[in-house]
């Protein structure tokens, strides 16, 4: 479903952009692929990702290669002649539905699941190309991750978390590194993204049915578990965990918690060194609706210092202050679901949250 744009709005958007800049919507004739359209728009406006997709070369058939199919779409956007309009993603979505039965049919799908699956699909394509380039397949069953050559997708989106588990009997701590392409964070009502990220590394006690098997003690024991951010990516995708299983209702319910997200953030990049990475917000995928299997997705994207709202075929201008409408609220179902932050090279002074009147309980001063 889309929001019917007006001719005056189309003229206004057209007048705001220089020659060669054309915000383009995506068709959604079946009213079932908004979950993909919203993600594809945010990927297009991720400049390092778009550049590498457009530079990509392969002798494979485009019908069997997700990067070439995406490249076709990106090229069509770049060569679009009208000031505003929409394009079809039919070929790419045919590939998606052929490869993954979860995205077939007319059911409403999860944009986070699509994002995660699609990025991994692209990455596997790059890894296969690297293996062919090397002239051999990896034969070691447990290759050293430090010797693993990163793909360009991993260079853009991949971070690393370290899980530390301390046996409370012998005090031995074990560590396990795990890469991520998006950082999933739990939410609390009336807080902020910065606060929720800080809570990401809070300790959890494993006991009762969740006891930890300690190799040193040779048995199950109570343990303390912490997940620490070890390395942060250049483009940080934050997945707000808005859907939670309700034991009484026996289904997933949506958490419309109010969680403020600023236009720029500082995130601790390594607990051991105390270093930080600085990011600017450029994209938000928004879920509108009562639950995971019902509703609609749109994306708000910043390009050339202007915010636009992409609603399938329609593109409209968005005042930055309107982003506060997507913090989440108990009286409506519009809420940010995926946040896209791009790393910036220099440290800078923080802006206030997008809603200056928003009071964040438990929120500590960032500076």
Nearest residue to 185 via CA among 339, 353, 363 = 339
Paired strand residues for 159: 180
How far, in Å, CA of 48 to CA of 65, rounded? Answer: 20
Paired strand residues for 206: 223
Cα dihedral across residues 244, 245, 247, 251: positive or negative: positive
How far, in Å, CA of 361 to CA of 198, rounded? Answer: 14
Which residues carry out catalysis? 34, 296
In terms of phi and psi (left: phi > 0; alpha: psi -120 to 50; beta: otherwise), the region of 289 is left
How far, in Å, CA of 359 to CA of 35, rounded? Answer: 31
Nearest residue to 187 via CA among 354, 339, 357 = 339
Nearest residue to 175 via CA among 266, 90, 271 = 271
């Amino acid at each position: 479903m889309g929001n019917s744009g007006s001719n005056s709005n189309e003229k206004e958007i057209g007048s705001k952009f220089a020659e060669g800049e054309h915000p383009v919507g995506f068709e959604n004739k079946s009213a079932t692929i908004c979950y993909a359209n919203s993600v594809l728009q945010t990927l297009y406006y991720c400049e390092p990702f778009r550049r590498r997709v457009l530079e990509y070369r392969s002798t494979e058939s485009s019908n069997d290669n997700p990067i070439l199919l995406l490249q076709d779409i990106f090229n069509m956007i770049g060569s679009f002649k009208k000031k505003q309009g929409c394009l079809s993603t039919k070929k790419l979505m045919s590939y998606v539905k052929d490869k993954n039965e979860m995205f077939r049919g007319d059911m409403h799908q999860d944009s986070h699941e699509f994002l995660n699956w699609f990025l991994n699909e692209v990455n596997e394509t790059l890894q296969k190309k690297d293996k062919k380039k090397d002239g051999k397949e990896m034969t070691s069953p447990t290759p050293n991750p430090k010797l693993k050559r990163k793909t360009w997708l991993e260079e853009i989106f991949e971070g690393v978390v370290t899980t530390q588990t301390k046996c409370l009997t012998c005090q031995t701590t074990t560590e396990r590194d795990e890469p991520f392409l998006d950082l999933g964070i739990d939410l609390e009502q009336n807080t902020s993204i910065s606060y929720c990220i800080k809570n990401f590394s809070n300790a959890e006690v494993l006991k009762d049915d969740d006891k930890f098997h300690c190799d040193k003690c040779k048995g199950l024991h109570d343990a303390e578990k912490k997940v620490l951010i070890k390395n942060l990516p250049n483009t940080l995708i934050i997945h707000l965990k808005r859907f939670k299983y309700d034991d009484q209702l026996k289904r997933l319910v949506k958490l419309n918690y109010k969680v403020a997200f600023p236009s720029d953030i500082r995130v601790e990049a390594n607990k051991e060194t105390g270093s930080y990475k600085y990011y600017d917000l450029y994209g938000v995928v928004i879920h509108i609706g009562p639950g995971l299997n019902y509703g609609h997705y749109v994306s708000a994207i910043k390009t050339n210092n202007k915010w636009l709202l992409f609603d399938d075929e329609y593109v409209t201008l968005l005042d930055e202050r309107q982003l506060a409408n997507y913090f989440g609220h108990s009286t409506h179902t519009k809420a940010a679901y995926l946040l896209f932050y791009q790393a910036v090279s220099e440290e800078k002074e923080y802006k206030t949250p997008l809603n200056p009147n928003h009071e964040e309980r438990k929120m500590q001063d960032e500076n």
